[in-house]
């Protein structure tokens, strides 16, 4: 779905406020869940750029009103240089691609981003296309241990929060 479970959003908000990013890239913006949960609830705003592969979501969910910029492209096709930002959010998006594609995307992000917040469902949730969007299909499943191990390969895990539906990690190089 283009939305996310509410679980862990307060943790992500607390990390966001600690980071105080001037620039944020929100991969797989969907309905703007993270812009609503973090940007709208914090006095710290920064410049937010949405990356959303499914162009119909831009108008359907009013993304122009939530972000300073919108890139309608598959995040996997963007260059590593694009991810130069104080914070990159990969919120509930990595399960929508193969593990190999997710790892390749994380490697690109790690070369440029000062901070990365990742969230993935840790409860196995099957999902097919939603709203006609084939990119909503869940392709792979990550356990908390698998994501923790992957993120720890190339930097420092600053913090972690694991719930029964979602898990979050804050990573820095």
Q: What pLDDT, in 10s, does the model give residues 5-23?
A: 567 889 999 999 999 999 9
In a domain, 26, yes or no: yes
pLDDT above 70: residue 25: yes
In a domain, 49, yes or no: yes
If you average pLDDT over every residue of the chain, what do you get?
A: 89
pLDDT at position 5, please? 57
In a domain, 4, yes or no: no
The DSSP bridge partners found for residue 156 are 172
* Count: domains in the chain: 1
CA–CA dist 80, 62 (Å, integer): 27
CATH of residue 134's domain is: 3.40.50.150
Residue pLDDT, tens place only, 87-110: 999 998 898 889 999 999 999 999
Q: Which domain range does residue 94 map to?
A: 9-172
Mean pLDDT of 84-88: 98
Tokens coding 129: 């296309």
In a domain, 3, yes or no: no
Tokens coding 100: 């190999």
In a domain, 51, yes or no: yes
φ, ψ of residue 32 to 5 degrees: the values are 85, 25
Torsion sign, CA atoms 155, 93, 27, 162: negative
Tell whether pTM > 0.85. Answer: yes
Contact predicate 49/67, CB 8 Å: yes
φ, ψ of residue 83 to 5 degrees: the values are -85, 15
In a domain, 1, yes or no: no
Radius of gyration of the chain (CA): 14
**141 — pLDDT class (breaks 50, 70, 90):** confident
Residue 9: Cβ within 10 Å count: 20
Q: Indicate the SS3 state at residue 136.
A: helix
Contact predicate 86/112, CB 8 Å: no
C-alpha dist (Å) from residue 142 to 41, 64, 79, 81, 138:
29, 31, 24, 26, 11
């Amino acid at each position: 779905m283009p939305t996310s479970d509410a679980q862990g959003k307060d943790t992500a908000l607390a990390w966001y406020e600690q980071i105080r990013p001037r620039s944020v890239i929100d991969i797989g913006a969907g309905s703007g869940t993270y812009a609503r949960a973090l940007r709208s609830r914090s006095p710290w705003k920064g410049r937010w750029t949405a990356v959303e592969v499914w162009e119909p979501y831009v108008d359907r969910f009013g993304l122009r009103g939530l972000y300073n910029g919108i890139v309608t492209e598959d995040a996997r096709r963007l260059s590593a240089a694009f991810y130069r930002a104080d914070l990159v959010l990969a919120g509930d998006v990595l399960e929508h691609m193969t593990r190999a594609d997710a790892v390749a995307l994380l490697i690109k992000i790690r070369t440029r981003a000062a901070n990365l917040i990742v969230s993935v469902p840790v409860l196995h949730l099957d999902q097919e296309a939603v709203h006609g969007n084939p990119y909503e299909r869940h392709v792979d499943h990550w356990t908390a241990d698998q994501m923790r191990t992957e993120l720890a390969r190339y930097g420092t895990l600053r913090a972690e929060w694991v719930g029964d539906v979602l898990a979050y990690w804050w990573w820095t190089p």
